[in-house]
A and B are shown apart, each in its own frame.
Chain A
């Protein structure tokens, strides 16, 4: 069965600094999608970034980028120039291609220190 593991329950970073959130997953599939979702205090789940497994190039979205290591089954999220508004719970998620279900990790709570 597929699993998603986020080994860091909480992290803190100084404003304007860079932080990396870790995520590993377990699958025997070759085609799948990986996501990072952000959940701020408002509780809204917001898509941050998405990566297709067949793409070797790491996805980027403004200050957010990923380091996708398919062989290692690792999918970390890097946030550059951290801002106070980045404070949230971040969920890593996996979706097998053509499968309806998304599997979420337990989340990492990110604190931004002013």
Chain B
């Protein structure tokens, strides 16, 4: 069974450019989470979805960040325009049932904004 799939694995872009990160959760999982990891702030929850509906986006740092989940098998995290301080590793995780089951993480996308 495939785990959580994220693409791209690495992204280098210039300040001001739009960045789109993609995630395919584990089939059958109803909850999807986007995290950001930096040395300074550790692992932060940005937003999560239950059954494709955004539940809590209080962790999204600014309006430059947006996330969508058009169906149960796909989600995107978009940064527009990107800034150097957005450089981080972005993880997607999924869970069969949030609050009762383990979250399974994807391999992460390492983003570098120059």
Contact = CB atoms under 8 A, between A and B. Distances in A.
Nearest to A50: B102
B105 interface: yes
Interface of A, helix, strand, loop or mixed by DSSP: loop
Contacts of B42: 104, 106-107
Nearest to B48: A100
B99 interface: yes
A104 B56 contact: no
Contact of A101 (B45, B102, B107): B45
A44 B104 CA distance: 10
B52 interface: no
* Majority DSSP secondary structure for residues of B touching A: strand
Contact of A44 (B55, B98, B108): B108
B48 A43 contact: no
Interface in A7-58: 33, 35, 37, 42-47, 50
B100 A98 contact: yes
B55 A100 contact: yes
Given A45-B91, A45-B93, A107-B42, A102 B103 contact: yes
A95 to B, nearest CB: 7
Contacts of B108: 43-45
A43 B107 contact: yes
Contact of B89 (A43, A95, A96): A43
B82 interface: no
Contacts of B91: 45
A100 B104 contact: no
Interface string A80-105: 00000000000100011111111010
A32 B104 CA distance: 18
Given A43-B89, A43-B108, A95-B99, A101 B43 contact: no
14 contacts: A33-B102, A35-B102, A43-B108, A45-B105, A45-B108, A46-B105, A47-B104, A50-B102, A91-B43, A100-B31, A100-B55, A100-B56, A102-B103, A104-B43
